[in-house]
Structure 1
């Protein structure tokens, strides 16, 4: 039976924003998983949205951004205790955003003359530009290094090693930061953790924040006010999808314990993607849900244990030396090393 479909093609701006390999990955995500990975929503005007959301969080009475900043501040003694093992440190910020959450942390290192360089790793050129602009403004004397890399798929061992060389022959260690509880956004968290593990030297530190949830309690997810709503509007505009032909939904998925945002199609669509050498058609049917955001929160036990998180770290051969829990914001920071 023939199905009538709304035929559309992405705007030219879509191909200006996404590389051919990214377009192929988006197509694969649509066909195989009915998703578009959220890592692709850190571009164009979305960069401004992300920047403003972090600035707003800084001014709020309480926020997860402030929680990350407090985590870094309260755990600075971990670095001080390791001072006999290094003369300088590199801060490698994985997915730096606008770098505001690490500003005070970098300032403390810089004032002690411990900071060798700040390296930002991200898939988005736009976010790296924003990070560099801020770091150069705050710390003009600090060397900023930028790397475009998909750390979901690649480790960055080479980057980590090359930044340990110093003309003065100083002993340098790396501090890897993965903040914003972003570990919960990945389809394959273990693969990401494995990439981190491969990128760590024996003396390096990984500081990673993650979300928590209380047993049998699933808080309401206000997806209409979440930044994924901005991502939804950004996406359907680029793909030339009529807003009346789809709907933005969100909630909690009991099958995988993920909070999610998705696009639901109310019409049959045929989207023709241009891969230069060929046109790749993607058929989406009425009723299809395309996930654009997911977030996993690790269950917090009655005795404040986070068994599932520790199990994942064990599988990735990462040793958790310390874990701080922020009960108010239901999040935690793990201080880790390579096993």
Structure 2
């Protein structure tokens, strides 16, 4: 097993994490401003108190940054004031209606621009020898933490919903020896020529993955298998943007519990080249989301976004 050293690039994209973090802020502010209206007992209130206006200003700076808040802050503040002035007397007869309207204006005026201005990062590891590479687009607010293998873990921003739920994303680019693949998949691979049309069938691939994972949790009462699903993963001939050549290959996303943690992992198994000698080692890419089981539902969308934005880099699928 070996790991691949990696480089980091930036690409432009809208991040769901930035949106989620902003929505937490505007929801909290909606609770406060609508709570103040309830306390006053006056559904015709048309002004924001000085204290709440200062809090609104601070929220705008936190989400957009000082520079952007300086140019956009008045527009967003006026949008909130217009809701109080124009919509509150007619529509917001209850605290619930008030909150819904306040969240709506915050989402459209503050959160969508905030999400759009934060680019995603793109982690890229180049293929080496028999190893495939991997490219992952992930939210720009997340951080990379060296995992001691040359391939980092991805961590959500501090105090975000994903951070509070304990979500981590691990990236692994390794290789497995022929004997281990044969034993795990329950097959014998030919030694004199590549197996055509593929080294492992889809079900042999899944059997190998399950055998590998279950062997690490043998006699562990805290382990339970939940599900698996097959997906198509893009495979590029190199990491150029746009890539020189592209195809798709089958991969598996597996879901299981280990000692109170929920694990959802994408497994890509690099097939032997149809144009060369049979491999003695096989390249593996694994991208794994991990969080405590009780909180996993709240971060599943963030996990899915990372897995959906994972691609493999391998020359094995293209003729010279």
User: Quick check: TM above 0.5?
Assistant: no
TM-score by length of 2: 0.31
Structure exhibiting the larger radius of gyration computed from Cα positions: 2
TM-score by length of 1: 0.30
